[in-house]
A and B are shown apart, each in its own frame.
Chain A
Amino acid sequence: MAFLLALLIVAITAGLVWPLAAKMWWTPLLASAQGGDFDSHFLLSMVMCVIIFVPAQLALAYCVVAFRDRAGAKASYSHGNNFMEVLWTSLALVFFIGMNAKGQSMWYHQRMEAAPADSLMVEATGEQFAWNFRYPGADGKFGKTDFMKVDNSAGNPLGLDPDDPAGKDDIVTTTLVVPVNKPLEVILHSKDVTHNFFVREMRIKQDAVPGMDLRIHFTPSVLSKDLPPHPDGTKGEYEIACSELCGLGHYKMRAFMQVVTQEEYEKFLKEHAR
């Protein structure tokens, strides 16, 4: 029985580690400039975790077999070893805090430094269960909105105030179209409940909280047309998948994101200009 348990523990350990170590399972294609930080730190963290996880499980499996109840076996009478306690406490401390500290500096660069001055600004507004994206237009200014004027079926999902000159040239779309290799700042809003903006290829995620003005910035680096197709042969697209429970349509709250060349982006702006 001891052998069986040890075998099972080894199998479990392998079952968890092997598909990741052999890269049978890994994160999808990286498609943003800042996402490299995530990828490298995720790899490092996984390696560090494996360094603890595998020996710990194997030690358990070893103990189960080596110290099984056999004729003549005798347990030692020991209440512990202070040296060992101090050793592994300090090792664990250095280990966990060290890894943590490394990740923190990346977090700092991504979330606490302001977006580059030449960033393209887009407002993303979530609602049950859809996204609307707003571009400030030629004047670079977002017009006023009024929640009393919101009317999706009349084509004014954001409640743009028709009397505000700054809003006259605002473009509202349901697909996020952005130029490649240009820093992008997304201002996240929500009309009703908490939603979440997540693009897995960009390694970016942030809640959109009603009443709050939350900003993230990243730089898409791979054109939509260069995305690998889905396993079933359909065209691969960037998808913004809601990652915060928002109600019955949560699983369908998806918007597409298109990363295009600068020329295509300008054409898109012209087409949608009002």
Chain B
Amino acid sequence: MPHAAGVAHDTGQALHDHAHAMGAPTSFWRKYIFSIDHKIIGIQYYFLALVAVFVGLTLSVLMRFHLVYPTAKMWDLPIWKSIFNGQQMTPEMYLTLMTMHGTIMVFFVLTTAPQGGFGNYFLPIQIGAADMAFPVLNMLSFWTTLVAFIIMMAAFWVQGGAPLAGWTAYPPLSGIGEVTGPGEGLGQSLWIASIGTFCLASLLGALNFIATTLQLRAKGMTLMRMPLTVWSWLVTAILGLLAFGVLLSGGILLLLDRHAGTSFFIPGGLVLNGQPLVDHKGGSPLLWQHLFWFFGHPEVYIAILPGMGAASQILSTFARKPIFGYRAMVYAMMAIGFLGFFVWGHHMFMSGLSPYSALAFSLMTGVIAVPSAIKTFNWLGTLWNSRIQMTCAMLFALGFVSLFVTGGISGVILAQPILDSYFHDTYFVVAHFHIIMGVAAIFGMFAGTYFWFPKMFGKMMNETVGKIHFWLTLAGTYAIFIPMHFLGVAGHPRRYSETTGVDYLKSLDGVHMFISHAAFFTAAVQLIFLGNLIYALWKGPKAPKNPWGCTTLEWVCDSPPVFDNFGGKEPEVFHGAYEYSVPGAKEDFIMQNDPQQVPEHH
């Protein structure tokens, strides 16, 4: 079915012709800073996430440090003194670090890099478009995201410091003010303002992604010929469009509760710090949890779906084999996206949610495990009878599959309320979501970086250094998170700043010591990646057009692509994205715009 979107396609073309009527900008500011070029914006997003990930990483190292050396004096650094009072880290500082670590990682890394970064850069190119459907809106999305990041960071330096209510910010803890804890004053308000701003940016971005995918596909690029990366970005954008609006409204209500005297989330009859709270009544703390997790669960998929897309693309490329079950992969992604909106209650089994609805949410969660399993089986099927080339990108994609299985399987345990009545809010949960949403998604980003860096910057990264980075990171992250399962099995609650408060935790200190040192090690290893990246930017060898022998359209362009990607000549697409090792073909891959015939298949 060539030209599925015939008429719409023409309007889209008109849109982007309009945006690009001026041709390439020449001034530095318009070319690199306030750029409307999706590629520059993608790089801006990527570097924002890179800054954020190192901030988040530093916070986690400090947390792990405090857990094992709770009475140690910290370095007498000006930045430390500007944020915290006292050189010894306190429980509230730990919670502040934890809250900001979670928030920065979830929003400004896991949401920003895979979708905003790679998605922005490669979605238009992979469908054969010259830019996003709304380039100016695209620029606005990035700058709004940056503003959100600045507001978030500002929370560290205001009176009372950054909030301590966790990235989930459950009211009443987050909904009343300084009385519930340090950082719950201005810091928490800034946190909410930042998240609200971020939601706006993400909504704009999501609209743009959806419009671009549906309207700007090149001739012959039917939906079922799109690379799985494009599918993952499309599904992610749809999730973002539906989910971020809910968080935005939740955030507005929370701000109103804090500053305008409303009581959406604050019930009556509270006594805080010994003083009765008389100016609130009638609210429900559970309402926030519903709103938050209605966003929060799809958010998990927003973080991981682009990783799945990248892993599929990279596995197929370096296995030199078509992806196993392309259609099943697409349907699985759609199913995950769809079902992702019906499982939020599994975060709330112990929250006072009706036990009846727990049954339904648990069942839906069992169902959503099925498409996830399908994806895993298909990746293994892709590897079967293949010829695996061990590039850095491939190693990270293989690591992604391993992590996805490990993190997914503990989800099967946590999806059951009867088991949650032990595991809820223990380190088992921490292990689960870090492996699947944190580490797996970041492996997807690493794989994407090693894979697309030559295209984005026209330089090659060092493969040997990259491989050292891979081995140490895979071993290191597993060393951190495997023992956390054991802490959970022993009943260790999460978000504890010290192990001194509950007696049975003392026997687990050895495990904490191991985890912390694994974390210090793994964090240090990431400097290898940073070094490799920065070195390659300046001194890396020049990248050819298609270094990996890949089939998708970005490899048709120069490295890096020119301002409008294809130099004004829109490519025509003749077949699907993963035609590797086609019998009788000249090479072991056939590009999507190569008119060569491929055998019939479905």
A: residues with CB less than 8 A from B are 1-2, 4-5, 8-9, 12, 15-16, 19-20, 25-28, 37-38, 41-42, 45-46, 48-49, 52-53, 56-57, 59-60, 63-64, 67-70, 73-82, 84-85, 88-89, 92-93, 96-97, 99-100, 103-104, 106-108, 110-112, 127-128, 147-148, 150-153, 159, 191-194, 196, 198, 200, 203-207, 209-212, 214, 230-232, 234, 236-237, 239, 241-254
B396 to chain A, nearest CB (A): 11
Q: Is the CB of A243 within 8 A of B504?
A: no
Supposing A80-B328, A147-B269, A205-B350 touch, asked if A57 and B405 sit within 8 A by C-beta, the answer is yes
Q: Is the CB of A127 within 8 A of B271?
A: yes
Which of chain A's residues have a CB closer than 8 A to the CB of B496?
Answer: 250-251
Which of chain B's residues have a CB closer than 8 A to the CB of A77?
Answer: 321-322, 580-583, 599
Most buried by A among B424, B491, B495: B491
Supposing A63-B383, A78-B322 touch, asked if A103 and B418 sit within 8 A by C-beta, the answer is yes
B481 to chain A, nearest CB (A): 9
User: Contact size class for B?
Assistant: 35 or more
* B367 contacts A by Cβ under 8 Å: yes
Which of chain A's residues have a CB closer than 8 A to the CB of B370?
Answer: 89, 92-93, 96
Which of chain B's residues have a CB closer than 8 A to the CB of A253?
Answer: 501
Which of chain B's residues have a CB closer than 8 A to the CB of A59?
Answer: 380
Q: How far is the CA of A151 from the CA of B385 in the complex (A)?
A: 73
Which of chain B's residues have a CB closer than 8 A to the CB of A148?
Answer: 276
Q: Which of B8-16, B74-82, B356-364 contacts A (4 or more CB under 8 A)?
A: B356-364
Q: Is the CB of A209 within 8 A of B285?
A: yes
Which of chain A's residues have a CB closer than 8 A to the CB of B376?
Answer: 56
8 smallest A-B Cβ distances: which pairs? A211-B267, A200-B491, A252-B501, A80-B325, A63-B383, A111-B355, A251-B496, A100-B366
> In this complex, what residue of A is CB-closest to B421?
A205
> In this complex, what residue of B is CB-closest to A49?
B409
Which of chain A's residues have a CB closer than 8 A to the CB of B389?
Answer: 69
Q: How far is the CA of A8 from the CA of B181 in the complex (A)?
A: 44
Q: Is the CB of A27 within 8 A of B173?
A: no
Q: How far is the CA of A106 from the CA of B363 in the complex (A)?
A: 14
Q: Is the CB of A193 within 8 A of B180?
A: yes
Which of chain A's residues have a CB closer than 8 A to the CB of B583?
Answer: 77
Supposing A8-B474, A243-B493 touch, asked if A84 and B363 sit within 8 A by C-beta, the answer is no
Interface string of B489-504 (1 = CB under 8 A from A): 1110111111111111
Q: Is the CB of A104 within 8 A of B359?
A: yes
* B164 contacts A by Cβ under 8 Å: yes
Q: Is the CB of B271 within 8 A of A239?
A: no
Which of chain B's residues have a CB closer than 8 A to the CB of A194?
Answer: 170, 172-173, 285, 351
Q: Is the CB of B409 within 8 A of A38?
A: no
Which of chain A's residues have a CB closer than 8 A to the CB of B417?
Answer: 103-104, 107, 111
Which of chain B's residues have a CB closer than 8 A to the CB of A232?
Answer: 506-507
Which of chain A's residues have a CB closer than 8 A to the CB of B260?
Answer: none
Q: Is the CB of A27 within 8 A of B422?
A: yes
Q: Is the CB of A97 within 8 A of B172?
A: no
> In this complex, what residue of B is CB-closest to A46?
B413
B105 to chain A, nearest CB (A): 17
Q: Is the CB of B355 within 8 A of A112?
A: yes
* B166 contacts A by Cβ under 8 Å: yes
Which of chain A's residues have a CB closer than 8 A to the CB of B401?
Answer: 60
Q: How far is the CA of A111 from the CA of B425 in the complex (A)?
A: 19
Q: Is the CB of B377 within 8 A of A200?
A: no
Most buried by A among B267, B383, B415: B383
* B462 contacts A by Cβ under 8 Å: no
Q: Is the CB of A211 within 8 A of B284?
A: yes
Q: Is the CB of B419 within 8 A of A244?
A: no
Q: How far is the CA of A207 from the CA of B365 in the complex (A)?
A: 21
Q: Is the CB of A57 within 8 A of B580?
A: no
9 contacting pairs across A/B (C-beta < 8 A): A67-B388, A151-B274, A196-B425, A205-B350, A237-B503, A244-B170, A245-B165, A248-B92, A251-B91
Interface string of B534-574 (1 = CB under 8 A from A): 00000000000000000000000000000000000000000
Which of chain A's residues have a CB closer than 8 A to the CB of B95?
Answer: 245, 247-248, 250
Q: How far is the CA of A97 from the CA of B28 in the complex (A)?
A: 58
Supposing A12-B482, A100-B366, A243-B425 touch, asked if A106 and B418 sit within 8 A by C-beta, the answer is yes
Supposing A92-B369, A200-B491 touch, asked if A210 and B422 sit within 8 A by C-beta, the answer is no
Which of chain A's residues have a CB closer than 8 A to the CB of B71?
Answer: none
> In this complex, what residue of B is CB-closest to A59?
B380
Q: Is the CB of A211 within 8 A of B285?
A: yes
Q: Is the CB of B486 within 8 A of A242?
A: no
* B230 contacts A by Cβ under 8 Å: no
